[in-house]
Amino acid sequence: MMHILQGIDIVQVSKMERIIQAHPGLASEIFTEGERKYCFSMPSPHVHLAGRFAAKEACLKALGIGLSGEGIDGALRDIEVVAGTSGKPALRVTGRVGKTGSRKKVYQYTVSISHSGDFAIASVILAARQTCEDLREGPVT
């Protein structure tokens, strides 16, 4: 049996730009080297940073932990937004966040990111296996 987990987040691009300009080192605490390289190669890097931040937070929400549960310390870098060959975004999840996904039996991470005006939004849908034992214990959270 399959269990669906979903998270969504929206980020104001101008706020992301102000924060990164005020604290440039914060980008390396939030984003992987690959994400920073990609975003800062774009004409409007903060639009892409905001979209990736929204995707990371949406993923944490889908896993039921959010930023308050794991904190910013490394959890955001455990989630990397990568571009597939067609340019479609995908998630690569490692570290503590990856272990949480494994514990919840997540076998598929799907992400969609969109930008409009001063906002970036991301939706993350996870597919997890649910065993008969899981059903007896209640829904996976």
Which residue in this structure is represented by tokens 């959890």? 75
What is the pTM assigned to this prediction? 0.89
Task: Specify the range with the lowest mean pLDDT, choosing from 7-11, 53-57, 66-70, 122-126.
Answer: 66-70
Q: How far, in Å, CA of 117 to CA of 72, rounded? A: 27
Q: Map out the domains of the chain with their CATH numbers.
A: 2-137 (3.90.470.20)
Please return the burial class of 79, using the count of CB atoms within 10 Å of its CB with bins 0-12, 13-18 and 19+: buried
Q: What is the pLDDT of residue 113?
A: 97
The model's pLDDT over 57-108, given as tens digits with 9 standing for 90+, comes to 999 999 998 776 545 567 899 999 998 778 899 999 999 999 999 999 999 9
pLDDT tens digits, one per residue of 29-47 = 999 999 999 999 999 999 9
Mean pLDDT on 6-12: 97
